[in-house]
A and B are shown apart, each in its own frame.
Chain A
Amino acid sequence: MASVSPLQLSVFRGDAEGGEMVTYSVPVREGMVVLDAVLWAQANLAPDLAVRWNCKAAKCGSCAAEVNGFPRLLCKSPVADYGEEISVRPMAAFPVVRDLVTDVSWNYEVNQRIAPFTPSEADRDDPRAWRMQQVDVERAIEFRKCIECFLCQDVCHVLRNHGRKDAYFGPRFMVRMASLEMHPKDSLDRRPQLKGEAGVGYCNITKCCQEVCPEHIHITDNAIIPLKERMADEYFDPVRSLLRRLGGR
Chain B
Amino acid sequence: MESYETVDTAVLVLGAGGAGLRAAIAAAESGARVTVVCKSLLGKAHTVMAEGGMAAALGNVAGQDSWEAHFADTMKGGKLLNDWRMAEIHAREAPERVLELERWGAVFDRTHEGLIHQRPFGAHTYPRLAHIGDRTGLELIRTLQDRLVHQAGIEVHMEVTVASLFAQDGRIAGALAYRRADGGLVLYRARAVLLATGGAGRVYRVTSNSWECTGDGTALAYRAGAELRDCEMVQFHPTGMVWPAGVRGILVTEGVRGEGGLLRNKDGERFMERYDPDRMELSSRDIVARAINSEVLAGRGSPHGGAYLDISHRKPDYIKRKLPSMYEQFLKLAKVDITKDPMEVAPTIHYYMGGVRVDPETGASSVAGLFAAGEVTGGLHGANRLGGNSLTDLLVFGKRAGEAAAEYSREHSRPARISKAEVGEAVESLVGPLGRPHGENPYRLQAELQDVCSRHAPIIRSESGLLEGLQQVLELRERARSAGTGGPTGRAFNPGWHTAQDLGQMLVNAEALFRSALKRKESRGAHARSDYPNPDPALANVNFVVREVEGAMSVRALVREQLPDALLAVINRSFEKYTPEEKE
Report A-chain residues with C-beta under 8 Å of the C-beta of B496.
Answer: 47-48
Tell whether A137 is near chain B: CB-to-CB under 8 Å.
Answer: yes
Query: Does the CB pair A144–B142 fall under 8 Å?
Result: yes
Residue of A nearest to B43 (CB): A148
Query: Does the CB pair A116–B105 fall under 8 Å?
Result: yes
Tell whether A21 is near chain B: CB-to-CB under 8 Å.
Answer: no
Report A-chain residues with C-beta under 8 Å of the C-beta of B110.
Answer: 132-134, 136-137
Residue of B nearest to A109 (CB): B149
Tell whether A98 is near chain B: CB-to-CB under 8 Å.
Answer: yes
Within 8 A of B (CB), among A106-146: 108, 111-112, 115-117, 119, 124, 127, 130-134, 136-137, 140-141, 144-146
Q: How far is the CB of B326 from chain A (nearest CB, A)?
A: 11
Tell whether A66 is near chain B: CB-to-CB under 8 Å.
Answer: no
Tell whether B490 is near chain A: CB-to-CB under 8 Å.
Answer: yes
Tell whether A29 is near chain B: CB-to-CB under 8 Å.
Answer: yes
Given contacts A48-B485, A50-B494, A57-B329, contact A97 B146 (CB under 8 A): no
Tell whether A183 is near chain B: CB-to-CB under 8 Å.
Answer: yes
A-side binding surface: helix, strand, loop or mixed? loop
Tell whether B258 is near chain A: CB-to-CB under 8 Å.
Answer: no
Stretch with Cβ within 8 A of B (4 or more), from A30-38, A194-202, A237-245 = A30-38
Query: Does the CB pair B115–A131 fall under 8 Å?
Result: yes
Stretch with Cβ within 8 A of A (4 or more), from B122-130, B131-139, B564-572 = B131-139
Query: Does the CB pair A108–B42 fall under 8 Å?
Result: yes
Count A-B contacts at CB 8 Å. 174
Report B-chain residues with C-beta under 8 Å of the C-beta of A144.
Answer: 107, 132, 138-139, 142
Tell whether A171 is near chain B: CB-to-CB under 8 Å.
Answer: no
CA distance A119 to B100 in the complex (A): 12
1/0 per residue, CB under 8 A from B, across A39-63: the answer is 0001110011111111111111110
A-B contact list, 28 entries, CB within 8 Å: A29-B244, A31-B245, A31-B247, A32-B245, A33-B247, A47-B442, A48-B494, A54-B46, A56-B250, A57-B251, A59-B137, A60-B43, A76-B333, A78-B332, A98-B181, A98-B492, A101-B181, A101-B493, A108-B149, A111-B149, A115-B150, A117-B147, A132-B110, A132-B114, A137-B107, A141-B132, A145-B138, A216-B328
Q: Which 3 A-B pairs have the closest CB atoms?
A: A31-B244, A47-B486, A117-B105
B binding-site residues for A, Cβ under 8 Å: 40-46, 48-49, 99, 102-105, 107-110, 113-115, 132-133, 135, 137-139, 142-143, 146-147, 149-150, 158, 181, 208, 210-212, 243-247, 250-251, 324-325, 328-329, 332-334, 441-444, 447, 485-488, 490, 492-497, 499
14 new A-B contacts at CB < 8 Å, known A29-B245, A30-B245, A31-B245: A15-B492, A36-B246, A42-B443, A48-B486, A54-B40, A54-B46, A54-B211, A56-B210, A58-B328, A59-B137, A61-B44, A62-B40, A108-B149, A140-B107
